[in-house]
Amino acid sequence: MEIIIGADYDEISKAAAAAMAKVVRDKPTAVLGLATGSTPIGMYKELIRLHRDEGLDFSQVTTFNLDEYVGLDGSHDQSYRYFMTENLFKDINVKIENTNVPAGISDDFKASCQAYEEKIRAAGGIDVQVLGIGSDGHIAFNEPSSSLASRTRLKTLTQQTIDDNARFFERPEDVPVYCVTMGVGTILEAKKLILLASGAGKTDAVADAIEGPVSSMCTASALQLHPDSAFYVDLAATGKLKMLEYYQWVQAKKSGAPAWTEPPRTEAPTDVRFIDPAADLPSSPGMTVSSVI
C-alpha cells in the first residue's frame, strides 16, 4: 500500500492523473475504472489537459464506472453517466460506445448487474480503478456492512451518504435511496487501485481505511488487502493519521530506495504477496516491500 501525501487538492489530483496517464501510455487499450463524486474532478481536468496539450490518447481505452443511482437515467443531471460525460468524456477522445456505467433503470437488476460483471471480465478486467471515499469510509457505494467479497448489486444508501450527496440535488428528498454499485470484491480484482481523498471531512475515513482494521464497517480498508493500491491524500485529510510522519519519510526517501522490479503477475491480483526472503532488501524487522516503494 502506498500513501502519497500532497500539499493540497491540486497536487494529489495531478499526481493521480500522472499515474493514470502512465497506465494509458503503457497500454493504449487499457481498461479504466472510473469514479464520480467531487474529489476526482481535479484529476479528470488534468487528464483532459494531458489529452489536449500532450496528446494523451484515449481512443482505444474502455471504461467502467463504479456506480449509479437507481431511478436516474443518463440524461438526468445528477446521474453518474451525465457526470462522466460532463467532467471527462466530452473533452477526451474516448469512444462513447466503449464507456460503461451501471444501469440505474432496469427491469431486472440482478441480470443487469451480472451482465456488468461479465462485461468487465470480457474486457480483460480493470487495469486501474480510481476511487473516492465517502465520509463513512465507503468506496463506490459499498456502505458499512457491505461484504468485502461483494459483487455488483443493488444497495441501500445510508442516511449519512444521502445527506452528504444532498448538496448536488435541488431538494434533499430528491436524493435516491437505492443505487447499483460494483462490489468490494469486484473492485479488489482491478490490477491497480488509486484512491483520492481530500479535505477535513475525510480525516476519520482516511485514518480508518489506512490504519484501522480491515473491516466491512469501512470498506476502503479493503485496499489493505490489495497488492497494488495507493492512497493520494491531501494534508487537510491527514489529521487523524498516526503514522503521517512515517509516510512522509517514506516519500522523501523514495528516490534512494533500491530498485524493485515487479515480478510478472501469475496469480489472481487479490493474492497476498509475500517478501522473497532471497531478495536483497534492507533488513529491518517487519519491513515489507511496500515500505520501501
List, by residue number, the catalytic residues. 67, 136, 138, 143
Question: For ligand GLP, which is the closer residue by CB, 185 or 250?
Answer: 185
**What's the CA gap between 180 and 81, in Å, rounded?**
13
Candidate segments 16-24, 36-44, 235-243, 260-268, binder of ligand GLP by CB under 6 A: 36-44
- For strand 99-100 and strand 62-65, is the pairing parallel, antiparallel, or unpaired? parallel
141 binds ligand GLP (CB under 6 A): yes
Q: Does 102 bind ligand GLP (CB under 6 A)?
A: no
By CB under 6 A, the residues from 173 to 202 that bind ligand GLP are none
Closest CB to ligand GLP: residue number = 132
For residues 128 and 33, is the Cβ–Cβ distance under 8 A?
A: yes
Work out whether 133 is an interface residue with ligand GLP (CB under 6 A): yes
Q: Which of 1, 19, 66, 130 binds ligand GLP (CB under 6 A)?
A: 66
99 near ligand GLP, rule: CB under 6 A: no
Q: Is 134 in the site for ligand GLP (CB under 6 A)?
A: yes
| Lookup result for grid cell 503514522 | 243
Instruction: Report the Cα 226 to chain-centroid distance in Å.
Output: 12
- Shortest Å distance, C-beta 65 to ligand GLP: 9
Non-local (6+) Cβ contacts of 37 within 8 A are 132
Give 3-state DSSP helix, strand, coil % of the chain, rounded to 5: 40, 15, 45
Interface with ligand GLP, residue 39, by CB under 6 A: yes
Angle between helices 9-26 and 41-54 (to 10 degrees): 50
235/292 with CB nearer ligand GLP: 235
Helical (H) or strand (E) element with 2: strand 2-6
User: Judged by CB, which is closer to ligand GLP: 30, or 35?
Assistant: 35
Cell numbers for 153: 448489486
Q: Is 161 in the site for ligand GLP (CB under 6 A)?
A: yes
